[in-house]
Structure 1
Amino acid sequence: MILNLKDIYLAAAGGLLIGLATSIHYLLKGRVTGFSGIFYSLITFDKNSFYWKLSLMSSVVLSSSLLFKYQGFTPILEGASPSFDPINQISKIGYIGAAIAGFLVGFGTKLGNGCTSGHGVCGLPRLSVRSMAAVASFMTFGILTATLKDQVVLEQPTQLLIDNANITNTAAMVISGILTLVGIIGQTKQNKKTMIDAIISSVVGLVFGSGLVISGMAKRSKILGFLTFNKSWDPSLMFVMLGAVSLNLITFNLLDKPILAEKWDLPTNKKIDYKLLLGASIFGIGWGIGGLCPGPAFSLFPQFTAQIACVFLPCLALGQINANKFSQYLDQKSKKL
């Protein structure tokens, strides 16, 4: 076991920031901040939510870019692990591994209606039985997959697509900043009364992205270190979920109605069905292979790698689209029975 108290402090602090971001979104707009659902709305150009979700996701990238600009590869706390580690972003994951992991994560999160943010950070504090079952499933399969992979897959040689992190980070900062503004402007043009949606979402994304970086979830090596049970097991990411869920357990139960919305915009399905369990399990397998879920994958975008930006994320989208078709097929088949 690797136990670094400085890393645990940062994990808990980052978890609290993630909890703060999701609490802001929940208390003001009554929404769950689920990154797999946000990503699916973006790739399918959902007309009712596209712009505010664009602002949220872009501001996650912007937050990561800003932190890298001012922090670089030096630790936030002396003695802690660096928040950014580009070589370890792509170690133990070649192009084939990135494709498989991305597809499985996309397919699983869409079929199971959530990932670590939607089911974990936001579902557990609402005491959702579906989320409890999903978290148990994807954690179990994530740990089993990562631990098994550690025994059979040798570390791969690594090479960054562009061997200058400052160039890619600056480009990501500029592009994500522009896209955040595009989201705010687009939301305003769509409906001036909902401009606040995109502004709130931008704040949520900035705080959430900061939490991902500070906690260590922007590093695949950190995530896989937690999922892989061996002599080098790293327990620090346990405190990310603990910090986020503990805060949300309080804030999610403060109000009877959201401050800036007429009612809660929450999942209504409360059944633990085979699609939920199958989807969460498939997501866990993909998570164990790649060490990434949608939120952290976007926070890594500024340190541009082909495996993540050009393979994992497109395959994530492909997996979600196919899972939606598969889910519709299952629903049609059940109606005929």
Structure 2
Amino acid sequence: MSYCNTNVCWNSDDVYLALIGGCLIGVATSIHYMLMGRVTGFSGIYYSLITFDKGSWNWKLGLMSSVMLASCIMFKIYDNGQSSILKGASPSYNTEQMLTGIGWAGCVISGFLVGFGTKMGNGCTSGHGVCGLPRLSIRSIVAVCTFMGMGFITATFRYWVVNKDFYGPSNNIIPLDSYSTISTVFLCVSVALIVLSFVLQNIQDKSKIVDVAVASLTGFIFGLGLVISGMVQRLKIVSFLTISSQVWDPSLAFVMITAVGVNFITFRILDKPVFNTKFELPTNKTVDLKLILGSALFGMGWGIGGLCPGPAIALYPEFTIQIGILFMVFLGIGQYIANFVVEKTKDVEIMSKPLL
């Protein structure tokens, strides 16, 4: 059964794919949690990579590269992005500008807000949503409600009020017939980076090579889940966040529901992880202004661009300057500045005073 409106058409297959993809995302994060005792938060993983965190850089490189590898393989299998499972991802700049075109300036704004917000709020849709909600974390519940609400407000405001050219030109400068070659390049790059992560870990501390293996498995399954669920389709994400009978696509709600449902069960199976002495869970349980402000800014960036760190990595086989460079670079810049602001305001009572 199909449900169509002016700009979006979704059907029962979208729901099935969302359920399957959400299940895979839940399985991936459950594997990481049960084997290593870790929460899979992509914004934190990305920040550790760009700051070269010595204690975790290798396994985080393996995880991120495996997300890219899974996406590249899916891209190759499904007709180089021309099938419905990938339709509406980054090359859609030319065909769906009113709903998805964010242009060069839009990617800068979106990337910066997502980076600043996720660093200040300590999480995104994966850390707070997929992994925080199943643990019934009050911070995560508040964060998810905040960034989801702000995402709906921003995307809806953008659709109804902001002119489509406000964010600058959104045309994709890479010819569509080049994507077969581009996806092959990034497939090879992802494999090389995964190998590198194993080699570096073997040199530095061979006893912890299981960290890289588990992380790589987690990333690969997570990447499959992102593609199958539709989380790499910016059109679907922005449509989900846009309150309008003409464009709203509710299918992505099933992704979060399924992933959280899987983790709600699996997170309670073991008393301690298989390959670690304890669960490495966030110790901060305070709901403060930093959490609210950071989550709100992340929601704004998400509503503008329809992207968060995980799906952005998975879009490299459909490489665009807008996402592959501008969004990712300003995501990192936003995180750096947020970290500076947090450090400078850590003694300011209003920023850290409990609100609940």
TM normalised by structure 2 equals: 0.90
Q: Give the alignment of 1:121-140 within 5 angstroms.
A: 121-140=130-149
Q: Give the alignment of 1:91-170 within 5 angstroms.
A: 91=97, 92-151=101-160, 152-154=162-164, 158-163=171-176, 164-170=178-184
Shift of 1:332: 3.8
Shift of 1:71: 1.1
The answer (yes or no) to whether the contact 1:160–1:304 under 8 Å persists in 2 is: no
Name 1:32's counterpart in structure 2.
Answer: 39
1:89 and 1:244 map into 2 onto residues whose CA distance is 29
Shift of 1:157: 5.2
1:158 and 1:192 map into 2 onto residues whose CA distance is 47
Q: Give the alignment of 1:173-322 within 5 angstroms.
A: 173-231=187-245, 232-322=247-337
Name 1:78's counterpart in structure 2.
Answer: none
The answer (yes or no) to whether the contact 2:19–2:229 under 8 Å persists in 1 is: yes
Structure 1 residues without counterparts, runs of 5 or longer = 76-80
Note if 1:83 corresponds to 2:89.
no
Shift of 1:279: 0.2
The answer (yes or no) to whether the contact 1:21–1:207 under 8 Å persists in 2 is: yes
| Residue in structure 2 matching 1:172, options 169, 178, 186 | 186
Q: What is the aligned length?
A: 331
TM normalised by structure 1 equals: 0.95
Note the aligned Cα RMSD (angstroms).
Answer: 1.6
Cα 1:267–1:288, aligned 2, differ >3 Å: closer, same or farther? same
1:87 and 1:230 map into 2 onto residues whose CA distance is 24
Shift of 1:89: 5.4
The answer (yes or no) to whether the contact 2:23–2:259 under 8 Å persists in 1 is: yes
Runs ≥4 residues deviating over 4 A: none
The answer (yes or no) to whether the contact 2:240–2:252 under 8 Å persists in 1 is: yes
Task: Classify the secondary structure of the residue corresponding to 1:23.
Answer: helix
Cα 1:18–1:278, aligned 2, differ >3 Å: closer, same or farther? same
Aligned-pair identity in percent equals 51
Shift of 1:83: 2.0
| Residue in structure 2 matching 1:67, options 44, 60, 74 | 74
2:223 and 2:85 map into 1 onto residues whose CA distance is 16
Moved more, 241-250 or 81-90: 81-90
Shift of 1:218: 0.6
Query: What letter corresponds to residue 82 of structure 1 in structure 2?
Result: I
Moved more, 314-323 or 224-233: 224-233
Shift of 1:108: 0.1
Structure 2 residues without counterparts, runs of 5 or longer = 5-9
* 1:161-189 Cα deviation digits (max 9, x unpaired): 35411111001000011001111111121
1:265 and 1:242 map into 2 onto residues whose CA distance is 24
Shift of 1:334: 4.3
Task: Classify the secondary structure of the residue corresponding to 1:125.
Answer: helix
Cα 1:188–1:153, aligned 2, differ >3 Å: closer, same or farther? farther
Query: What letter corresponds to residue 164 of structure 2 in structure 1?
Result: L
Shift of 1:158: 2.3
